[in-house]
Amino acid sequence: MARGARQEADPPECTRWGWRFHHLGVPTSQERPDERHLDQFGFSVSGFQTSTVGVEWMRFDPDSPIDPLIQQVPHLAFVVDDLHQELATRNLTVLTPPNQPSDGVRVAMVVIDGAPVELLEFNDPDEQAGADVDD
């Protein structure tokens, strides 16, 4: 089936690539309970550990270096097996080049269909169940 011809009951094309949903990052300007500040990125995160559907709230500092698109538009995050290969073969526009925000995980932010998308690669697949990393 050609891209753009997806039927209502069809999953997104990225599921055929092996991408697995991890979380939905939602920008907010409101302080939330249990926020954890990530100094190196200039934002606070909350909600990941307790969300039953994978929502992570992101509240950005005024001087956050994170791309404005990520600060203004919710992003989807997917676990991939090989971040380098995905970036090399999918012809994606990269917002944030691959980096290692914490031990055992590499991430990159890309733009797909005008929306930010985070790709995560875990060194240990068992770590993906409890990780709460971002850009």
DSSP annotation string for 6-27: --TTSPPGGGTTT-EEEEEEEE
- CA distances to 14, 49, 114 from 5, rounded to whole Å, are 14, 36, 18
- Please, what CATH class does the domain formed by 76-128 belong to? alpha beta
Q: Are 45 and 57 in contact (CB under 8 A)?
A: yes
pLDDT tens, residue by residue, 13-43: 999 999 999 999 999 999 998 999 999 999 9
- pLDDT exceeds cutoff 80 at 96: yes
Q: Are 91 and 100 in contact (CB under 8 A)?
A: no
For CATH 3.10.180.10, the residue range(s) in the chain are: 76-128
Q: Show Cβ contacts of residue 28 under 8 Å, excluding neighbours closer than 6 positions.
A: 57, 58, 59
pLDDT tens, residue by residue, 62-83: 999 999 999 999 999 999 999 9
Amino acid found at 104: G
- Please identify which residue in the block is written with the tokens 């050609």: 2
pTM: 0.86
